[in-house]
């Protein structure tokens, strides 16, 4: 019992450390708040008039996609933070301290929950200003926000693995974009899947990002969701388990050098 308490304490200390870095690095804060705002404004006012979304206004269709994309991209903070710690030798310092080895990664990903909350507030706040409106009950909206946090936590582990596998923050940034851009754009986040070329539609339909976006869209604006929230939850848990295992494996290899 005491060992568990010490591990949780170590995890909390490192989570607080990671969270405190954000205000001290305003460029990171600007990056994960200004970028989604730009996406919202560009898509609503530049592309919105050219995209047909039957049954929705485009802003109601768009905002759930933008917020899921933003949450997924929030994991970049994890990748950049871990790569920076490796580059500066802090991982060796952590290894020499009487602390839980698992806390380095669990604390880092836990800190991302706080930045994800900021991102959700920013995107939904801007969305409301440009005409987005919730069309469901408060319970559904809360369920949607909790699902968003779970999705964000899953992608934090993806980027933990990316960060530990990269030689520099710049390469971690490049790998992250290569992974996420196709995933987010070949989905229902920005346009209906039915508007895509026939050969691309099956890929988009089976993209886990499409399920996640459709689940949030249903919980926020009320389209039929079916089992999408449960499938999105299963995908998020599966991604977490797989990439947590990969990140831990990679971390052990890195610190063993």
Q: What is the pLDDT of residues 91-135, one digit of tens each?
A: 666 666 656 666 677 777 777 787 888 889 889 999 999 989 998
Alpha-carbon 48 to chain mean position: 24
How far is it, in rounded angstroms, from Cα 109 to Cα 153? 7
As a whole number, the mean pLDDT across the chain is 80
> Which among 75, 144, 150, 88 is positioned nearest to 115, based on CA atoms?
75
Q: How many domains does the chain have?
A: 1
For the segment 159-215, what is each residue's pLDDT rounded down to a tens digit? 888 888 877 766 777 777 787 888 888 898 888 888 889 899 999 999 999 999 999
Asked whether the beta carbons of 156 and 109 are under 8 A apart, the reply is: yes
User: Which residues form the domain of 185?
Assistant: 2-255
Query: Quick check: 146 pLDDT over 90?
Result: yes
Asked whether the beta carbons of 64 and 217 are under 8 A apart, the reply is: yes
pLDDT of residue 176: 75
> Which among 114, 187, 117, 106 is positioned nearest to 148, based on CA atoms?
117
pTM for the whole structure: 0.86
Strand ranges for the chain from DSSP E = none
pLDDT of residue 101: 62
pLDDT of residue 53: 74
pLDDT of residue 93: 65
């Amino acid at each position: 019992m005491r060992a568990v308490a010490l591990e949780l304490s170590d995890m909390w200390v490192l989570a607080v450390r990671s969270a405190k870095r954000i205000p001290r690095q305003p460029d990171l804060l600007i990056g994960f708040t200004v970028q989604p705002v730009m996406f919202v404004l560009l898509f609503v006012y530049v592309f919105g008039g050219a995209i047909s979304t039957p049954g929705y206004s485009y802003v109601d269709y768009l905002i759930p996609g933008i917020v899921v994309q933003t949450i997924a991209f929030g994991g970049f903070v994890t990748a950049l933070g871990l790569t920076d710690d490796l580059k500066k030798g802090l991982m060796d310092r952590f290894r020499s301290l009487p602390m839980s080895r698992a806390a380095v990664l669990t604390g880092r990903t836990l800190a991302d929950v706080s930045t994800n909350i900021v991102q959700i507030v920013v995107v939904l706040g801007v969305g409301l200003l440009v005409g987005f409106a919730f069309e469901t009950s408060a319970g559904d909206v809360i369920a949607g926000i909790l699902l968003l946090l779970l999705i964000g936590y899953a992608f934090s582990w993806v980027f933990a693995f990316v960060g530990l596998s990269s030689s520099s923050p710049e390469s971690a940034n490049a790998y992250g974009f290569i992974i996420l851009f196709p995933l987010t754009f070949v989905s229902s986040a920005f346009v209906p899947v039915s508007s895509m070329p026939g050969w691309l539609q099956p890929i988009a339909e089976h993209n886990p990002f499409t399920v996640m976006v459709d689940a949030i869209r249903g919980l926020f604006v009320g389209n039929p969701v079916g089992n999408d929230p449960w499938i999105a939850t299963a995908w998020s848990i599966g991604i977490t388990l797989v990439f947590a295992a990969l990140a831990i494996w990679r971390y052990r290899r890195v610190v063993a050098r």
